[in-house]
């Protein structure tokens, strides 16, 4: 088991720079910090916003399980994961993964692993709000997201 991760599920936006700073502040053992931010795309101007539903309690628990596996597999010094829920306008951030490690490879790989599993194992669902005001659909899971997990087996 590696270092514990900081995991937050929140409606509010997050400050990426502040999260990076918080993760590495006061430490001299961190040589690499990798950040992934996922934003709400407007799908060529057709999408106004996403409504993100989550399973309270399980969302935190599942991301903790994924983070525990990541920190067991790679020598990660620290990790922060923030995932938002509720209405998120096009252009706004949805998810943040920050990994810190002594060397870059562990930080890159742990961040990629976290995102691959967040996509299809963390209990969140996206519904579209269309720009034309019509009621949007629930976003379908992509087979490519499920296939992405294969490379970590």
Partner 1 sequence: MKLVYFAWVRERIGVAQEDVTPPEGVATVRDLLEWLKSRGDEYAEALKFPEAIRVAINQEHVRHDEPIAGAREIGLFPPMTGG
Site string for partner 1, 57-96 (x = CB under 8 A): xx--xx--x-----------------x----------xx-
Site string for partner 1, 32-51 (x = CB under 8 A): ------x-------------
Give the containing element (helix H, strand E) for 6: strand 6-10
Quick check: 36 and 113 in contact, CB under 8 A?
A: no
Q: Residue from 30, 125, 130, 131 that binds partner 1 (CB under 8 A)?
A: 125
What tokens were used for 87?
A: 């209405």
User: Which of the residues 4 through 23 are near partner 1 (CB under 8 A)?
Assistant: none
Q: Residue from 89, 139, 147, 152 that binds partner 1 (CB under 8 A)?
A: 139
| Residue (101 or 118) nearer to partner 1, CB | 118
For residues 128 and 48, what is the distance between their CA atoms, to the nearest angstrom? Answer: 8
Give the containing element (helix H, strand E) for 98: strand 93-101
**Residue 126 binds partner 1, judged by CB under 8 A:** yes
| Residue (103 or 139) nearer to partner 1, CB | 139
H helical segments located in the chain: 16-24, 58-73, 104-121, 143-148
How far from chain centre, in Å, is Cα 153?
20
Adjacent-strand bridge partners of 34? 99
Site for partner 1, rule CB under 8 A: 38, 53-55, 57-58, 61-62, 65, 83, 94-95, 115, 118-127, 138-141, 146
């Amino acid at each position: 088991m590696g270092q514990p991760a900081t995991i937050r599920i929140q409606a509010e936006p997050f400050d990426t720079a502040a999260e990076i700073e918080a993760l590495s502040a006061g430490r001299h053992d961190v040589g690499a910090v990798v950040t992934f931010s996922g934003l709400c795309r407007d799908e060529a101007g057709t999408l106004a916003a996403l409504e993100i539903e989550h399973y309270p309690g399980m969302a935190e628990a599942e991301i903790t399980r994924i983070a525990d596996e990541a920190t067991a597999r790679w020598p990660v010094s620290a990790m922060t994961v923030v995932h938002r829920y509720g209405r998120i306008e096009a252009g706004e951030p949805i998810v943040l993964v920050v990994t810190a490690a002594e060397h870059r490879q562990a930080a890159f790989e742990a961040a990629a692993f976290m995102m691959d599993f967040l996509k299809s194992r963390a209990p969140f669902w996206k519904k579209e709000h269309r720009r034309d005001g019509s009621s949007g659909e629930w976003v379908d899971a992509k087979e490519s997201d499920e296939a992405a997990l294969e490379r970590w087996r």
